[in-house]
Amino acid sequence: MERKVWRRPLTEVQKFEANEYVAACGDENKVYKFTCDAPGGWLYYYPTSDGKIDGEYDGSGEKKFLWAYTPCDATHEASVTNDFYDGFIDYNWNTKHDEGEGVIVWRGPANNNGHATKNLDMTTWPTAKS
């Protein structure tokens, strides 16, 4: 006759380590909501990114003049995959990005427009699903 031995239950835990990148499907159709409310003036933007979008530009790319900007005061819904740019509104007309002039620029859904906001922290912008 075989004798049975009682053993305390054992729990094993394995640490999950991702070994490849998987796109977050939760961002599909996600949009930023922001208001085009920066004060008017000569609007410039930097087509070449410096790695962050915060209204300050530390890169080596050249600025590009868009036009005399007037805020439309509309709340826009822009896909999180749209291009946003660092930019500035040249309030003192010296064609330089001076302190306090920084904005975030959105070129519109066809990348042919110019909307600007002084809210430089995109993490605070409301989001929604379109």
Residue 100 scores a pLDDT above 90: yes
Which has more confidence, 29 or 116?
A: 116
Confidence of residue 92 (pLDDT cuts 50, 70, 90): very high
Q: Where in the chain are the domains?
A: 29-129
pLDDT tens by residue, 29-87? 788 999 999 999 999 999 998 889 999 999 889 999 998 999 999 999 988 878 899 99
Confidence of residue 28 (pLDDT cuts 50, 70, 90): low
- Residue 50 and residue 64: Cα distance in Å, rounded? 15
Residue 19 scores a pLDDT above 60: no
Average the pLDDT over 93-97 and give the result: 94
